[in-house]
Amino acid sequence: MDKRALVERAGRGDHDAFAVLATAASARLDAAARLILRDPELARDAVQNTLVRAWRDLPGLRDPDRFDAWLHRLLVNASLDEARRRRRRPIEVEIKTIDEPAGSDSAGHLADRDLVERALVRLDPEHRALVVLHYYLGYPLPDAASSLGISLPAAKSRLHRAMLGLRRSMTADAHVVPGLEGGRTA
Amino acid sequence: MTTFDRFDPFERRITEAIDEIAATRPPAYLNDVLRQTARKAQRPRWTFLERWLPVDSAIPRPTIVGRLPFRQLVIVALLVALAAAALAFYVGSQKRLPAPFGPAANGDLLYSAAGDIYARDPITGRQRPVIVADGDQFAASYSPNGELITYATASAEGDHFMVANGDGTNPHQLALIPSTGNAQGAWAPDSRSVGFIYDVKGLPQLSLVSVNGQASVIALDDIVPLDIAFMPPNGGRLLIRARVAGSEKVGLYTMKLDGSDRQTIVEARQTTYGVQFTNSGAVFSPDGRTIAYNGLDVVSQADGKLELMFRIHLVNADGSNDRALPGPSDPTVNENWPVFSPDGTSILVLRFKTRGDVFGGEGWIASMPADGSRPARDVGVHFTDDKSDTAISKGWSPDGSRILIAVGSKQEVYSVDPSTGSSELLAWTKDLPDWQRIAFR
């Protein structure tokens, strides 16, 4: 059964169809939430809230072909809600990778990954959300801005600041972590 | 992903690293979440389409007075005086109730908050708990005569649909609704029964349940019921939106309360908007002669493309003369979900524009004359929905002097003056209150 049919069936109350959709989307949702929140428990809460809301509101989704975009939008908003709700709680920064990458990996890739992880931690959730929408989920900036409820100029400005922050953090870290001097160029 | 095409090496580096960081598999907690969603109902549910719908039974009818001899006039006057005295005595000894449809005085506002149900005096602002119990109580609604309330309370078995006196006493269950599938409810005009559509063994079933618990199922062999409304003024017929069994075609039908004498009001059709929205939003006019619903018409856009857009349609209650009301001047604006004003002269509609590639965008309320003499004019504030949808609920006060608007995703409720469009945020509720209809003093 194609995805559109699954979304339509789920929108009419077919929970089995929803389970298929949720299972297919869950890995990416979980990864995106972890990237934004940098805390596995908060990410779990965000994904849970996203899927509960998706199930509840699915009958209101006008175009089944927009399911993924709609779901990702719910996820980003749920993640930011979690971040705001727990802002006073110390965040358990997850430095380990979410899952070990498969196959061989060069030292350069590992170095980059560690640098980016450390740099992401230093961004606030709103900036991370934009980075995740744009660079991980692959949304053009106007759509990412729309998902976050901000104007395109604001999104451009926020992304510029985020990238500047990442660049500075990575440069600084590369100079203090032995063996990573200079980082790696693409 | 598309950002790989960028030329900035740093951006490519970021993208590759993030992809590596994020590489993962379905989370272990997914089954727990799915068990949770399986116990929850989808929206819309407990939509009482006939909330505050008016009827002309409260409107005085003109009388024709011929010439009468003086003696007869005196006798008639005496009889009238006696009848008036008797009526006054009777009324004084009875509790006055509003007519089941049409304008009524504004009573209390019923709403749910933090899992309980409260009533609030709109004048004094005094609020009192009506239903306070374990679990989550929601979807509170008054009966048309303002005497009873209905609400739902969630449990692991499903949603218990309850009825109680207006003060919360004598709560008892009318139906146990499965947690999955759509569910609709509509009060009968006499406030003595509720019409339901909800899933039984996975199939939507239409039933009428009296407030004392007696239920009757209405068998519909070849159509699958989706929405329900009672026909004013006496509720002797039902308006059912239904899907033709085995297809995605959806039509509007009226029938007697036992399902007999079915008439097709709007022919079943299939649209790209799916079962959920095709021929949706049907409501009766106050006099029961007309039905307004969400039509889907082909509208030419500025770039010459033809788009299927929502437009308000009126159709006579016998299915004749289906016509579109004048739509908005901006062809990109949709118009749907009509609600007649209590006096029946206006129709409140939702206008919205979708945005980007997701279901969201800008929504607002507009009011149009029910005779279709001109397009709707905007009232109240615009809502730019930054989240999942443009879920906006709305309703008239019983006397027609206010409009309540709830923006679902923002959990905000506004009270709007329909004549000026001025609005105020009701900070005390996140739930669209149901306004009690009471008799005029």
pLDDT at A164 over 90: no
- Whole-angstrom CA distances from A92 to A89, B9, B378 are 9, 31, 49
Please give the pLDDT value at position B338. Answer: 92
**Of the residues B93, B109, B127, the one at which a domain ends:** B93
Please give the pLDDT value at position B152. Answer: 86
Nearest to residue A90, comparing CAs of A134, A42, A27?
A: A42
Please give the pLDDT value at position B26. Answer: 78
Please give the pLDDT value at position B211. Answer: 94
Question: Does the residue B297 lie in any domain?
Answer: no
Q: Where are the domains of chain A?
A: 1-91, 105-177
pLDDT tens, position by position, A124-159: 888 899 999 998 888 888 888 877 877 788 888 888
My answer on whether omega of the bond before B342 falls inside 30° of 0, hence cis, is no
Question: Does the residue B227 lie in any domain?
Answer: no
Give residues with Cβ within 8 angstroms of A62, minimum separation 6.
B273, B277, B354, B359
Question: Does the residue B375 lie in any domain?
Answer: yes
pLDDT tens, position by position, B84-125: 555 555 545 556 889 888 899 999 999 988 788 999 999 999
Using a CB-CB distance cutoff of 8 angstroms, which residues of chain A are in contact with residue B40? 52, 55-56
Number of domains in chain B: 2
pLDDT at B411 over 90: no
A105-177 CATH pick, 2.30.33.40, 3.30.565.10, 1.10.20.60, 1.10.10.10: 1.10.10.10
Give me the residues of B, 344-383, that contact A with CB < 8 A: 354-360
Interface test with A, best of B30, B200, B270 (most A CBs within 10 A): B30
- Whole-angstrom CA distances from B28 to A30, B25, B375 are 10, 9, 54
Structure tokens at B140: 């509170």
Is CATH 3.40.50.2300 what the domain over A1-91 is classified as, yes or no?
A: no
Q: Is the CB of A135 less than 8 angstroms away from the CB of B18?
A: yes
pLDDT tens, position by position, B164-202: 999 999 999 999 887 666 778 889 999 999 999 988 877
Q: Is the CB of A113 less than 8 angstroms away from the CB of B20?
A: yes
Question: Does the residue B272 lie in any domain?
Answer: no
> What element of type H or E holds B362?
strand B358-369
Q: Is the CB of B42 less than 8 angstroms away from the CB of A73?
A: no
pLDDT tens, position by position, B377-396: 998 777 765 443 445 777 89
pTM for the whole structure: 0.62
CA B323 to chain centre: 22
Question: Does the residue B105 lie in any domain?
Answer: no
Three-class SS of residue B358? strand
Q: Which domain holds residue B391?
A: 325-441
Share of chain B above pLDDT 70, in %: 79
Residue A185 contacts B where some CB pair is shorter than 8 Å: yes
Three-class SS of residue B305? coil
Beta strands B377-385 and B358-369 are antiparallel
Using a CB-CB distance cutoff of 8 angstroms, which residues of chain B are in contact with residue A98? 21-24
Q: Is the CB of B17 less than 8 angstroms away from the CB of A64?
A: no
Question: Does the residue B343 lie in any domain?
Answer: yes
Candidate from A76-80, A86-90, B38-42, B239-243 with smallest mean pLDDT: A86-90
ipTM of the complex: 0.77
Question: Does the residue B394 lie in any domain?
Answer: yes
Q: Is the CB of B391 less than 8 angstroms away from the CB of A57?
A: yes
Banded model confidence at residue B8, pLDDT cuts 50, 70, 90 = low
pLDDT at B221 over 80: yes
Using a CB-CB distance cutoff of 8 angstroms, which residues of chain A are in contact with residue B3? 134-135, 138
Task: State which residue of chain A sits closest to B38, comparing Cα positions.
Answer: A15
Structure tokens at B362: 């800008």
Of B70 and A58, more confident: A58
Candidate from B171-175, B292-296, B316-320, B406-410 with smallest mean pLDDT: B406-410
How far is the alpha carbon of A37 from chain B, nearest alpha carbon, in Å? Answer: 13
Give me the residues of A, 57-116, that contact B with CB < 8 A: 57-64, 66, 69-70, 73-74, 77, 97-99, 101-102, 105, 109, 112-113, 115-116
Nearest to residue B318, comparing CAs of B276, B284, B281?
A: B284
Q: Is the CB of B359 less than 8 angstroms away from the CB of A70?
A: yes
